[in-house]
Amino acid sequence: MAIDIKVPQLPESVADATVATWHVKPGDKVSRDQNLVDIETDKVVLEVVAEADGVIGEIIAEEGTTVGAEEVIGKLEKGDGAAAKSDAKADTKSDSKSTSKDEAKASSDSGEKLEVKVPQLPESVSDATIAAWHVKAGDAVKRDQNLVDIETDKVVLEVVAPADGVLLEIKHDDGATVGAEDVIGIVAAGASKGRSGDSQATTDSSANDSSEDSDVAGPAVRRLLAEHGLKASDVKGTGKNGRVTKEDVEKHVKEGANKAASASTDKASAAAQASSGDRDQKRVPMTRLRKRIAERLLDAKNSTAMLTTFNEINMKPIMDLRKKYKDVFEERHDTRLGFMGFYVKAVTEALKRFPEVNASIDGDDVVYHNFFDISIAVSTPRGLVTPVLRDTDRLGLADIEKGIKALAIKGRDGKLTLDEMQGGNFTITNGGVFGSLLSTPILNPPQSAILGMHKIQERPMVVDGKIEILPMMYLALSYDHRIIDGKESVGFLVTVKELLEDPQRLILDV
C-alpha cells in the first residue's frame, strides 16, 4: 500500500515552500516518525516524517523544488509489500530504460540537430538565469545527462540532453538571462558515433560522473561543485547516507583539498590568478530565508516613515542587583539571570503606558493591541529571525529568561515552529552581544517600533557635579512616525531608561 508523503499545512501568510534536503532515497527502509525531508519556508524549516514503517518508493519533488501545502512530494510503500513493490518498480524502470535506449538509438541514427531549450517557467516567473553549463561545445553527451542548470528566483532547474550525441553549440553562456522555451544550445544526435573510442569512453565517464553526483547531491550542491571544478566523489559527505551538503563543499574548498585538481587546470589561468594575489570570487545563491529577510527590510525602509531616537542608561544598578542575586536565582530557577529579562520587563511596562507604540497600521486603520507579545531578535546559522515571547505581562523574570533561552536554542538548531515565528507587537534586538556600540535598527513590519540595546561600556559621567566612571549603554528606538509622534517615542524611551536605572520598580511593579 502506497502512502503519500505530503508537504505540511502552511500558514496563510506563506504561499509556498522549498524542498531543502531529502534524508532518504528511493529503496531506503524507514521507520515510523523518521525524518524524511526538510521543507524550508521564508521563516522556518519543517520536518516531514514517515507515517509508518516501510520503504521509500518514489521521490516526486527533488531538492530545490518549490511546493505548496498538502502537495505530494513522494511515496512510501508501507509494510511487507514494500519490497515487492520496489522490485516491480525496478522492473518498470528497466523496461523504461530499454525503451529510452531504443528511442535514443533511433535518434542517433538519424543524425538530426536537436534544440536544447529552457523548460516551461511558472506564471509568476518571467525569466531565468543560466547558472552553470556542465559541458562545453564539442563534448560528447549521453541522453538524459544534465547539461546546464537554470536558476529562477525560486528553484534551480536541470536541462538534460535529448539524445546521445555531441553538443555543437552553446547559444547563451553562464549568467545570461533567458525566457521559457528559449533555445540555449544545439545537440547533434548520433554524432558521437563518428568519434574515437577514447571520445566514447569520455562520454560514458562524463555520464557516470553526472549520475553519481545526482545520487549524492542536490541541484544546488551540484552547481557549487561545478563552480569549483569538483565531483561529488571528491568531497566527503556528512549528510544522511553520505549525501554531500553545501557545507561539505565549502569546507573542502576552504581546507585546500582541491589544490591537486587546480594544479592540473589551465596554466595561464593559474598564472593570472597568482599574479593578481589570489583575488578570486565565489558566487553563492541566497537562501529563501535570506531573500525574505532582504525583501522585508527593504519593504520596511520604503513603506514606513522610520525615525530613530536615542538615550543612554546607567547599567550599574542592574549589574549590582544581578551580581548580588545571580547565584541564588540560578539555583532556584535553574536558569541564568541575564539582562534580557530586565529589558523585556521594562519594555512591557512602557508599552502599557504608551499604547501608540503597541499599535500597528492596517490600511487606513490603527490597530491597538491589548496584549504584549515581544519579538526577540535571534542570530542563527540561517540568518536573523525574530521568534515571539508571548504574554510578557504575565511572566516573571525567570519565565522570561527560560523562554528566551528556549527560543535561542530552537533557532540555533532550526527547530522554531511557524507559530513561534508569527505575530509580535514590538521587537527587541541586542547588538551589544556582538560589540555594537550604537545602531539604528530597522522596523519589523507590521510592527511600529523596535528597540536596539547595545554594548555596555564604562564612560566618564557627571553625577551630582562630580565625574564618575559608570557602565553605560546606548538605547536606540526606531519607530514609524506615521503612527507615533516624537512626544510618545521619547516618552517611551525615557520610561524604559528610568525603569532599568531603578530595577526595584520592575520587581515591585510601581
Catalytic residue set: 481, 485
Strands 449-453, 426-430: pairing kind: parallel
Going from the C-alpha of 119 to that of each of 20, 71, 130, 137, 173, the distances in angstroms are 21, 21, 12, 20, 16
> How crowded is residue 425: how many other Cβ atoms within 10 Å of its Cβ?
25
Grouping H, G, I as helix, E, B as strand and the rest as coil, residue 304 is coil
Going from the C-alpha of 216 to that of each of 36, 115, 146, 231, 345, the distances in angstroms are 15, 29, 15, 10, 50
Q: Which run of H or of E encompasses 76?
A: strand 72-78
Q: Which run of H or of E encompasses 259?
A: helix 259-263
Is residue 67 a contact partner of residue 39, using CB atoms and an 8 Å limit?
yes
Return d(Cα 159, Cα 145) in angstroms, integer: 8
- Amino acid identity of 31? S
Return d(Cα 101, Cα 278) in angstroms, integer: 46
| Closest among 179, 185, 106, 182 to 141, alpha carbons compared | 185
Is residue 16 a contact partner of residue 67, using CB atoms and an 8 Å limit?
yes
Burial degree of 327 (CB within 10 A; 0-12, 13-18, 19+): exposed
